[in-house]
A and B are shown apart, each in its own frame.
Chain A
Amino acid sequence: MDERLVPATRSPVGLGTLFLAFAKMSLAGFGGVLVWARRAIVEQHRWMTPDEFNETFALCHFLPGPNIVNLSVVFGARIRGIPGAIAAFAGLLGPPVLIVTLLAILYARYGDLESLRRTLGGVSSVAVGLLFAVIARMMLPLLKKREPLSLLVLLAVFVAVGLMRWPLPTVLLVSIPVSILLTVIIRRRAA
Chain B
Amino acid sequence: MNQTGSSSLWTVAWTFGVMSLFAVGGANSAIPEIHRIAVDVNHWLTDKQFADIFAISQLSPGPNVLIVTLIGYQVAGILGALVATLAMCGPTAVVAYYVSRLLARSTHATWPGIVQAALVPLSIGLMSASGLIVMISADTSIAAYSVTAVAAVLAFATRLNPLWLLVAGGLLGFAGIL
A residues neighboring B (CB under 8 Å): 1-2, 4-5, 26-33, 56, 58-70, 72-74, 77-78, 82, 85, 89, 92-93, 95-97, 99-101, 103-105, 107-108, 111, 115, 117-139, 142, 150-151, 153-158, 161-163, 165, 167-169, 172, 175-176, 179-180, 182-184, 187
Output the least CB separation between B93 and chain A (Å): 4
Q: Is the CB of B125 within 8 A of A153?
A: yes
Residues of B within 8 A of A104 (CB): 56, 69-70, 73-74, 81
Q: When the two chains form their complex, are residues B73 and A157 in contact, meaning their CB atoms are under 8 A apart?
A: no
The residue that B58 contacts in the complex, of A93, A130, A157, A183, with Cβ under 8 A, is A130
Tell me the complex Cα distance, A181–B25, Å. 19
* Chain B, range 44-101, C-beta contacts under 8 Å to A: 48-49, 51-66, 69-70, 73-74, 78, 81-82, 85, 88-89, 91-93, 95-97, 99-101
Query: Are B70 and A64 in contact, CB atoms less than 8 angstroms apart?
Result: no
In the bound assembly, the distance between CA atoms of A180 and B122 in angstroms comes to 10
Structural contact, B118 and A129, CB atoms closer than 8 A:
no
CB within 8 Å for A120 and B170 given contacts A63-B99, A162-B133? yes
User: Is the pair A30, B173 in contact by a Cβ cutoff of 8 Å?
Assistant: no
- In the assembly, what is the distance between CA of A66 and CA of B62, in Å? 12
What's the dominant secondary structure at chain A's contact region? helix
Most buried by B among A32, A63, A67, A163: A63
- Give chain B's interface residue range (CB within 8 Å of chain A): 35 or more
Q: With CB as the reference atom, state the residue of chain A lying closest to B148.
A: A129
A sample of 15 inter-chain contacts (CB < 8 A) reads A26-B63, A29-B61, A58-B112, A65-B23, A69-B65, A69-B89, A70-B92, A73-B96, A107-B52, A121-B178, A123-B58, A126-B166, A135-B127, A175-B122, A179-B121
A127-B134 contact, Cβ under 8 Å, with A63-B92, A179-B118: yes
Whole-angstrom CA separation of A153 from B154 in the bound complex? 28
Name which residue of chain A comes closest to B111, CB basis. A180
Structural contact, B26 and A67, CB atoms closer than 8 A: yes
Q: What residues on B are CB-neighbors of A137 within 8 Å? A: 156
* Beyond known contacts A96-B62, A134-B28, A163-B132: 5 more, CB 8 A cutoff: A63-B95, A72-B93, A100-B60, A120-B170, A126-B165
Asked if B7 is at the interface of the complex by the 8 Å CB criterion, the answer is no
Q: In the complex, what residue of chain A is closest to B112 when comparing beta carbons?
A: A62
Q: Which of A66, A89, A105, A136 contacts B23 (CB 8 A)?
A: A66
Determine which of A28, A128, A154 lies in contact with B131 in the assembled complex, contact meaning CB atoms within 8 Å: A128
Contact B118 A176 (CB under 8 A): yes
Asked if residues B92 and A61 are in contact (CB atoms below 8 Å), the reply is: no
With both beta carbons as reference points, the residue of chain B lying nearest to A161 in the complex is identified as: B129
The smallest beta-carbon distance between A70 and chain B, in angstroms, is 4
- CB pair A65–B96 under 8 Å, yes or no, is yes
Do B170 and A157 touch (CB < 8 A)?
no
Alpha-carbon separation in the docked complex, A120 to B52 (Å):
6
The answer to whether A165 touches B64 (Cβ under 8 A) is: no
- Chain A residues with Cβ below 8 Å from B117 are 183, 187
Q: Which residue of chain A lies nearest to B150 when distances are taken between CB atoms in the complex? A: A129
Q: Contact at A122–B173, with CB atoms within 8 Å?
A: yes
